[in-house]
Amino acid sequence: MANSISAIFAEIDEALEKFGREPKQVIAPWLQCECNKRLERLDFLTAQLGNTLFVFSKENLIPHVYRKFKDSILKDGVYFSRSELRTLSYSLAYSEKGAVSIFESDNQLDFALALLSSSWKPGFIIGLINCYMLNWDTTLRKSHAQLFRFISDKFLEYQGNRAILLAFKANWKYFEAPGGDLKLGIDMAVNNHKITEVTEFLSLPNSWINFPYFSNVIIAYYEAKQRNLFEFISDIELILISHNSNKTSKRVISKIIIYCNSDQFAAKRNLIKNLAIKFIGDPENAALWMVFSGATENEKNDLDLARSILNQWIVSDFIALFFEICINDRRRKAFWLKYTKAVTSFKIYGSSSVKSRLAREQRIEEHIHSRFETVSGSGFVSAIVLYLKDYMLVEFSEPGFAFYAYKINNVNRPLANYGIHKIEDLRRSFMPSLATRSRRYITDVNEEGRLPHTDGELYWESIFEYWLKNVAKVYV
């Protein structure tokens, strides 16, 4: 490619400036408008493709200009062509192994901005804004503020008619750090604009939504309209897809989960669960819910709490459906639903026919494959295994099967050595009773063992509760 994009920019800029000074309009207004549109598109492409390996002339490659700039710091009289300066405007955030970016050094950033200013062209602003928005969350606040002041001064001087530059100039209040992004989100919410129209609101290309800058815009918008969440939740889903940031997804979804953790929103939980799984993942997978870089203490707490709440919702759904579909035991269902907050993970074991029956339930269809283990020879008998604190607890769908409690550190517990291949692998008939009762008194307890679901003068729920509280140390 003989001519670089930067060279094309320079030629068009010069032509527009030259003809713009003529007393008679040489270029028709519609053609000049079209040229401006093409310039905006080329500016955007350069921002996106500046680091790619297209074969441009050497002087226009970012790595080459970056190295030349680094060398120029140590030498006097190094000349930069206009196209090289345009490339330099996109090189501020670029770095190579063993060397920092220009943006990371106050002195180097000063030198680069002075160099650009000495042969200034308005088109340089796009590259500078690219760096400014890419580093919106930077800890290098001094460099970020320095870049902001420089761009602001250039906008004050700008008298041209490039649409993208005029759009930035008109909306520059929204790009002042800190707080401009929050102001944008709030203004859009208050004026009932859709968050999916944020780039259109700013008159920017839609692809700019990927910039980190928009993270706080989305958060501020959500918080301002939170009370009407389900009127715009589809827009939140669309903007998270477009923005494509795991960090932003975690920030927004955690807030939504916490907000919806009340009976008022029980009917909407399936929608929220599916959003969380889609954008973050199963809460049982700790790696997917790791705290993102730069998170505040509140954001860390929100993410941990949201993961716990989401896990509780999923556990509640599975427990309820297990005791409704697999055994239809209302007492056991009511009992174990009280302990969902204490359950860290669970698994259901059973036949493929049992799995198919459960999979038809909308509440759990998205999670059944990761939470159900198919075993052979179980017939219609299935089991749900709950993990609470230091224990593995097993309930069966067969009324005559006892409840089993195993210490997780017991090498003889199920799964410890050979895995589960059939339902019987979860039973240890030789184990002692978890508790012995005499009339209305519990006389003896063990750390591990089994308990039947039978009533005497004491209901079985009372014995289970006593053991869970006093031996397993599980409190609800």
Cα angle 110-116-121, degrees, rounded to a multiple of 5: 145
Give the separation between CA 475 and CA 372, rounded to whole angstroms: 27
Q: Report angle CA 197, 203, 208 to the nearest 5 degrees.
A: 70
What pLDDT is stored for residue 7 in this prediction?
A: 46
Can you give the pLDDT at residue 1? 42
- Which segments of 243-366 are extended strands (E)? 343-350
Contact 117, 128 (CB under 8 A): no
Q: On the CB side of 209, how many CA atoms lie within 13 Å of its CA?
A: 19
pLDDT tens by residue, the chain, 476 residues? 434 444 454 455 555 444 444 444 445 555 556 666 666 666 555 555 444 433 344 555 899 999 999 999 888 888 999 999 999 999 999 999 888 999 999 999 999 999 999 999 999 999 999 999 999 999 999 999 999 999 999 999 999 998 889 999 999 999 999 999 999 999 999 999 999 999 999 988 898 999 999 999 999 999 999 999 999 999 999 999 999 999 999 999 999 999 999 999 999 999 999 999 999 999 989 999 999 999 999 999 999 999 999 999 999 999 999 999 999 999 999 999 999 999 999 999 999 999 999 999 989 988 898 899 999 876 789 999 999 999 999 999 998 899 999 999 988 888 877 788 899 999 988 899 999 888 788 988 999 999 999 998 899 999 999 999 999 999 88
The residue length of the chain stands at 476
Is residue 271 a contact partner of residue 260, using CB atoms and an 8 Å limit? no
The DSSP call for residue 156 is: H
- Residue 22, pLDDT score: 45
Question: What's the rounded Cα separation, in Å, for the pair 24 and 473?
Answer: 89
Q: Rounded CA gap, 350 and 166, in Å?
A: 65
CA-based nearest residue to 296, from 254, 326, 329, 325 = 254
Residue 122 and residue 165 in contact, taking contact as beta carbons nearer than 8 Å: yes
Q: How far apart are CA 443 and CA 80, in angstroms?
A: 90
Q: Return the bridge partners of 395, or none.
A: 384
Per domain, the residue ranges of the chain are: 1-170, 307-470
pLDDT of residue 55: 37
Residue-level pLDDT at 380: 82
Task: Encode pLDDT of 272-319 as tens digits.
Answer: 999 999 999 999 899 999 999 999 999 999 999 999 999 999 999 999
Distances (CA, A) of 200 to 21, 35, 445: 32, 20, 68
Angle subtended by helix axes 229-243 and 246-259, to nearest 10: 160
Separation CA 276–CA 173 (nearest Å): 33
Cα 191-262-222 angle, rounded to 5 deg:
20
Quick one: which H or E segment has residue 406?
strand 403-407
- Name the H helices within 177-260: 180-190, 198-201, 214-224, 229-243, 246-259
- Residue 148 contacts residue 176 (beta carbons within 8 Å): yes
Q: Do β-strands 372-374 and 343-350 pair in parallel, antiparallel, or remain unpaired?
A: parallel
Q: What is the DSSP letter of 367?
A: T
- CA distance readout (Å), 145 to 140, 165, 214: 9, 20, 18
State residue 49's pLDDT score: 47
Q: Looking at this protein, which amino acid is placed at residue 448?
A: E
Helices (H), 75-213: 82-89, 106-118, 124-134, 141-157, 163-170, 180-190, 198-201
Quick one: which of 352, 447, 453 has its CA closest to 407?
A: 447
Q: Is 38 helix (H, G, I), strand (E, B) or coil?
A: helix
Identify any residues that bridge with 372 across adjacent strands, giving them in sequence order. 348
| pLDDT at res. 144 | 96
Cα 145 from chain centroid (whole Å): 27
